[in-house]
């Protein structure tokens, strides 16, 4: 009986139905044509793919940064300096009270030889790094 609900009785013409406007155009019967259905399916598929890619980019970009990056300090013979967890793009804090008998700490460097001094007030952390103590004999 439900299949006969939308069909006119035998011998009668189907009454005119109002035009229905949808996202993909006008359909006299209120439904979508096969081309409209295919177009909608392509748009829906493209939308899902783009959204999945955007989500993946956000997940990958956030990997490793939610817990922070690690700044490790090698005191090169001095007292221990505790590693720090720093968010991407932030500055690290200079360790305090790092001492070495007979030496004065003059700074921290990206290289063990002290060639690339680190400026704690302006240098930003963009990856896991090790900073090496630079000592001057007294």
Q: Are 27 and 33 in contact (CB under 8 A)?
A: yes
Count the neighbouring beta carbons within 10 Å of the beta carbon of residue 81. 20
Query: What parts of the chain have a pLDDT lower than 70?
Result: 1-32, 61-67
Instruction: Report the alpha-carbon distance of residue 46 to residue 84 in Å, rounded.
Output: 43
Q: From CA 87, how far away is CA 96, in angstroms rounded?
A: 20
Alpha helices, DSSP H, located in the chain: 34-62
Q: List, in sequence order, every beta strand (DSSP E) within 56-119.
A: 69-74, 84-86, 103-109
The Cα–Cα gap between 99 and 138 comes to 12
Provide the pLDDT for residue 65: 46
pLDDT at 40: 81
pTM exceeds 0.75: no
């Amino acid at each position: 009986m439900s299949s006969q609900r939308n069909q006119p009785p035998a011998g009668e013409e189907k009454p005119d139905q109002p035009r229905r406007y949808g996202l993909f155009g006008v359909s006299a019967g209120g439904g979508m044509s096969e081309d409209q259905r295919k177009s909608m399916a392509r748009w829906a598929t493209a939308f899902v793919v783009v959204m999945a890619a955007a989500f993946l980019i956000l997940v990958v970009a956030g990997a490793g940064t939610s817990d922070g990056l690690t700044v490790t300090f090698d005191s090169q013979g001095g007292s221990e300096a505790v590693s720090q967890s720093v968010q991407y793009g932030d500055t690290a804090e200079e360790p305090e009270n790092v001492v070495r008998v007979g030496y004065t700490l003059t700074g921290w460097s990206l290289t063990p030889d002290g060639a690339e001094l680190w400026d704690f007030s302006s240098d930003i952390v963009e990856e896991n790094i090790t900073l090496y103590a630079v000592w001057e004999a007294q």
